[in-house]
Amino acid sequence: MDSSHSKDDWLEGAPEKSKPGYLRSLVFTSQAGMVNNMYDSVVWGLLPVLLFDSGLLLEQVAVIVS
């Protein structure tokens, strides 16, 4: 068995998309997108409910949300 190879030799010549740095940034981007989608769903889902619950008419809530 040849022990002269390092553990990262398999990455030589590999496409950029299969390297750990790229994958790590892809995970962070995906996580940021998920947080952004959660924030949007909270704002666009709860804001109309809270406005309507505070006594505004449905037409007023529609104008504010749109």
What confidence tens digit (pLDDT) does each residue in 40-66 have? 888 888 999 999 999 999 999 999 988
**25 in a domain, yes or no?**
yes
Provide the pLDDT for residue 41.
Answer: 85
Task: Look over the chain and give the mean of its residue pLDDT values, rounded to a whole number.
Answer: 78
Higher pLDDT, 22 or 39: 39
The C-alpha atoms of residue 26 and residue 30 are separated, in whole angstroms, by: 6
Provide the pLDDT for residue 35.
Answer: 83
pTM (whole model) above 0.75:
no
**2 in a domain, yes or no?**
no
**47 in a domain, yes or no?**
yes
The C-alpha atoms of residue 14 and residue 28 are separated, in whole angstroms, by: 22
- 44 Cα distance to chain centroid: 17
pLDDT at 20 exceeding the cut of 90 = no
Q: Per the structure, how many domains does the chain have?
A: 1
**40 in a domain, yes or no?**
yes
**4 in a domain, yes or no?**
no
**30 in a domain, yes or no?**
yes
Instruction: Write phi, then psi, for 19 (nearest 5 degrees).
Output: -90, 145
Instruction: Write phi, then psi, for 6 (nearest 5 degrees).
Output: -85, 170
